[in-house]
Amino acid sequence: MTEQSSNQMWGGRFAAGPDAIMEAINASIGFDKRMAAQDIAGSRAHAAMLAATGVITDSDAEAIREGLLTVLSEIERGEFQFSTALEDIHMNVEARLKEIIGEPAGRLHTGRSRNDQVATDFKLWVRDQLDAAESGLLALIRALLAQAEAGADWVMPGFTHLQTAQPVTWGHHMMAYVEMFGRDLSRVRDARARMNECPLGAAALAGTSFPIDRHMTAQALGFDRPAANSLDAVSDRDFALEFLSVASICAVHLSRFAEELVIWSSAQFRFVTLSDRFSTGSSIMPQKKNPDAAELIRAKVGRIFGANTALMMVMKGLPLAYSKDMQEDKEQVFDAADNWMLALAAMEGMVKDMTANRDSLAAAAGSGFSTATDLADWLVRVLGLPFRDAHHVTGSLVAMAEKKGCDLPDLTLEDMQSVHAGITQDVYSVLGVDNSVNSRQSYGGTAPDQVRAQIARWKEMLP
């Protein structure tokens, strides 16, 4: 390996530069350049504070401010030359600042360290992603509400064990996902509120002897307060772990809905038709329309939860305070965030575009003896049978219908009475699927009135 000159940022005590392999394992610029805007925002806040507290002069602060704006615009225009020798985004920005403004650039790093700098940048980045997740979730919830409203009283089979259980309404099924994504939304908001403390000014680990004002930088960067303990501030990655945990739970919800869309869009079910915009064709089978977006959303939980596991393992057992292990946090979070946002947007698009096939839903709702529970309940309510006996009588009637190859409402009154003599014509009033769903008026139940109440409650709560 050829010897290079030592690092211009920290090489004072070094006679030789790093081995190429050292540089390769050490550098993070290949990925942490995504935090350039956050890094520059943090430096601007820090420089302004250093001037306000008299640590640097106003004219140095002004030169730093203008220089940083130039660096930012170079990065935004794609003109910035990122250097691996300069390791990371923090030193790349500072080195370029020095080229532009000269000596005052060297004063920017007073009273701070890359340890509090990276924690601050990364928090700002994660905070932006929590805000993006909030918008994505709200848009998805709105799309689900529109589906629920359109089909509040459309009947479909409800399943347990993926076996037909009892009829439910389309609106009810959509609103179940609104509840899930609503809890994800509240987890996103909780995580944001908890993480919003500023690490800047914790310096390397112990704080600084300069008379800095951490409240001022915290406020300038939109944090609620400075982090209270400098050791914790530089070594905390809970905010990233919590982001990945929240993302993982939401990805699980997305995968469950995606799985249902895959099943529902199959020729065997035909419950929904996905739009052309969110489907793909097959290169060999001309008839195919594949639910690829749903399948990919179903799979995203793998990498998102993988990132969660990876960072948990990186952080496990790390002694205080900062260790370079923590540089492994970013790629996991970046990848998980990108894929979470994409999955949310794709799901919103699919839900907005999809058509529920009301007739197929209704036909399936009536099959599979889905109103057997209603029959048993009628035997209890009208004939006064204990539920266990009613369950038994109904089971015999289901067996009879199965043998005859018909559904429960197709059995004659004579058939019914051969199993239990007390059954009257009135029983047919509960055997229809619409009667069944309309009777489920308990709070949160599937009756269209209840579903409309759920929709109204959500509409009131949404911003």
| Interacting residues toward ligand ARG by CB under 6 A | 28, 32, 88, 114-115, 118, 322, 324, 326-327
Report the residue number, 115 or 245, with the smaller CB distance to ligand ARG: 115
- Closest contact distance (angstroms) between CB of 276 and ligand ARG is 44
Which one from 73, 83, 266, 282 is the annotated catalytic residue? 282
- Closest contact distance (angstroms) between CB of 35 and ligand ARG is 9
- Closest contact distance (angstroms) between CB of 233 and ligand ARG is 13
- Closest contact distance (angstroms) between CB of 34 and ligand ARG is 12
Report the residue number, 141 or 326, with the smaller CB distance to ligand ARG: 326
Q: Does 161 qualify as catalytic in the annotation?
A: yes
Q: Does 282 qualify as catalytic in the annotation?
A: yes
Report the residue number, 161 or 324, with the smaller CB distance to ligand ARG: 324
- Closest contact distance (angstroms) between CB of 321 and ligand ARG is 10
Report the residue number, 94 or 348, with the smaller CB distance to ligand ARG: 94
Report the residue number, 35 or 176, with the smaller CB distance to ligand ARG: 35
Residue 204: phi and psi, rounded to 5, are: -65, -40
Q: Which residues are catalytic?
A: 161, 282
